[in-house]
Chain A
């Protein structure tokens, strides 16, 4: 059963709120990375509206690196975010979701890819850098924020499934 897409306004509101949280949680890098992954992988991608999702992802990347203030040359995270969100949007159109399990599995795959792409792009842009533990935190807490984002985007009344 193909699930209906969430409303555009709802999705933009969630993205804006999460982006603000990414900026505000700069003193807590692990939490910031988790929120960043939630925004890029779960909230921003939208089938048929790639540009808006891409802009949210790019904004998330620049905000993350801007609040970190660690790299000599910024932009790597934004580029990786842009790439992943385009891929996720394409996947959402190509393979529509049918349930929470598939959603979590897709998030896990995209999360791995996102982590690798981010570190690779940052290495290209800024050179060698510490990886930190944010990527591991985001992967370990993926069931939590994946389920949360699923509930946000597809409330139970819409899905008809509890």
Chain B
């Protein structure tokens, strides 16, 4: 009996029998537990799998987010490239049209000035400038072919430019107001004292024949007096920059208001304009009265 117990306990056959019994009993127990235990095991396995499932879900979300971000980045890069190309085209177009735009702006300004002067004004384009040279001037693209004559006044919206010095068949030359041989009848705006403008070059001019008794302030506006029969009265010439007492007269220096070095289009006054012109009476825009009930 003792020998059999020893063999059962330690022999290979005994271990095999034990394994068989455990296998059979374990399976039987498992079978007898039935579906509810399976559900419990299912719940337990779900609970155990929940962290890994959450991790997998987060990983999938992160991957999707990365893919979306990469897609968005690609789209943004494509948009940026397209917008850069469009911007370059717009800039190129603006560069091409800039001269035309500037000319159009200038034309609009001239047109505005033309509306305020009730005279028959002509327009011309400056095609060349010889101002850096001694006694230089501005060359216009019109001449006798357009009926221009000498001593016609030339002005821009900022102020007077000068007068026509010589007129050829197709071109004209302007004598600028700051030329040493230029002379324009002017008057001071406050004191109404008159004088003659004599150019000093570089956009500056000297007013001569102003009495020492006159009170002139720096910054005072200087207008045309109309006495030279080139410009009518009241056109802006410039502003007083410096006033000094002389022996017999005041030495009044002014800065011309017209940018003589940057003029591209000018207006031409008619020859021998009247001394004084009245600004046109602009009729107000009268809107037609709406009838009640009409849309």
- Give me the interface of A with B, judged by CB distance under 8 Å: 50-51, 54-55, 58, 72-76, 78-79, 82-83, 86, 121, 124-127
* Cα distance, A73 to B27, chains bound together (Å): 12
- A50–B20 CB distance below 8 A: yes
User: Does B34 lie within 8 Å of A79, measured CB to CB?
Assistant: no
- Chain B positions within 8 Å of A50 at CB level: 16-17, 20
In the bound complex, what is the Cα–Cα distance between A86 and B17 (angstroms)?
A: 11
- CB distance B35 to A72 under 8 Å? yes
Residues of A within 8 A of B136 (CB): none
CB of B20 within 8 A of CB of A58, answer no
Residue B31 CB within 8 A of the other chain: yes
CB pair A75 B27 closer than 8 Å: yes
User: Residues on B close to A: CB < 8 A?
Assistant: 16-17, 19-20, 23-24, 27-28, 30-35, 37-39
**By the criterion CB–CB under 8 Å, are A127 and B35 in contact?**
yes
Q: Is the CB of A121 within 8 A of B20?
A: no
- Provide the bound-state CA to CA distance between A88 and B19, in Å: 18
Query: Judging by beta carbons under 8 Å apart, are B20 and A124 in contact?
Result: no
Give the residue name and chain of the B residue nearest to A121 (CB): B31
Main secondary structure on B side of the interface with A: helix
Closest to A127 in B: B35
When A126-B35, A127-B35 are in contact, do A75 and B20 touch as well, CB less than 8 Å? no
Known: A51-B16, A72-B35, A127-B35. 17 other contacts (CB 8 A): A50-B17, A51-B20, A54-B20, A78-B27, A79-B28, A82-B23, A82-B27, A86-B20, A86-B24, A124-B31, A124-B32, A125-B32, A125-B33, A125-B34, A126-B34, A126-B35, A127-B34
Contact at B24–A82, with CB atoms within 8 Å? yes
Cα distance, A124 to B30, chains bound together (Å): 10
A116 to chain B, nearest CB (A): 15
Contact across chains for A76 and B24 when beta carbons are under 8 A apart:
no
**Given that A50-B16, A51-B16, A73-B37 are contacting pairs, would A125 and B23 also be in contact in the complex, using a CB cutoff of 8 Å?**
no
Contacts of A127 in B (CB 8 A): 34-35
Candidate in A73, A78, A82, A127 with the most chain B CB atoms within 10 angstroms: A73
With contact pairs A82-B23, A82-B24 given, residues A75 and B16 touching in the complex (Cβ less than 8 Å): no
| Chain B residues in 8 Å Cβ range of A58 | 23, 27
Residues of B within 8 A of A121 (CB): 31
Interface residue from B16, B23, B28, B34 paired with A73 (Cβ < 8 Å): B34
A82 CA / B23 CA spacing, docked (Å): 8
CA distance A148 to B51 in the complex (A): 51
CB distance from A45 to the nearest CB of B (A): 13
Query: In the assembly, what is the distance between CA of A127 and CA of B31, in Å?
Result: 10
Q: How far is the CA of A124 from the CA of B35 in the complex (A)?
A: 9
Report A-chain residues with C-beta under 8 Å of the C-beta of B39. Answer: 72
In the complex, chain B residues whose CB is within 8 Å of the CB of A126: 34-35
Of all chain A residues, the one with the shortest Cβ separation from B37 is: A73
Whether the Cβ atoms of B35 and A73 lie closer than 8 Å is yes
Instruction: From known contacts A72-B38, A73-B37, A73-B38, infer whether A125 and B20 are also in contact, taking CB-CB under 8 Å.
Output: no
How many angstroms from the CA of A124 to the CA of B27 in the assembled complex?
A: 12
Complex CA–CA separation, A51 to B21 (angstroms): 10
Q: Which of B16, B23, B31 has the most CB of A within 10 A?
A: B31
Q: List 23 A-B contacts (CB under 8 A).
A: A50-B16, A51-B19, A51-B20, A54-B24, A55-B23, A72-B38, A72-B39, A73-B35, A75-B27, A76-B31, A79-B24, A79-B27, A79-B28, A82-B24, A82-B27, A83-B24, A121-B31, A125-B30, A125-B31, A125-B33, A126-B34, A126-B35, A127-B34
- Also in contact, A75 and B34, with CB within 8 A (given A51-B19, A51-B20, A82-B24): no
Given A72-B38, A73-B38, the answer on whether A79 and B31 have CB atoms closer than 8 Å is yes
In the bound complex, residues from chain A placing their C-beta under 8 Å from that of B16 are: 50-51
Write the chain A residue with the least CB distance to B41: A73
Residues of chain A within 8 A of B20, CB atoms compared: 50-51, 54, 86
Residues of A within 8 Å of B30, CB to CB, are 75, 79, 125
Judging by beta carbons under 8 Å apart, are B24 and A124 in contact? no
> What's the least CB distance linking B24 to chain A, in Å?
6
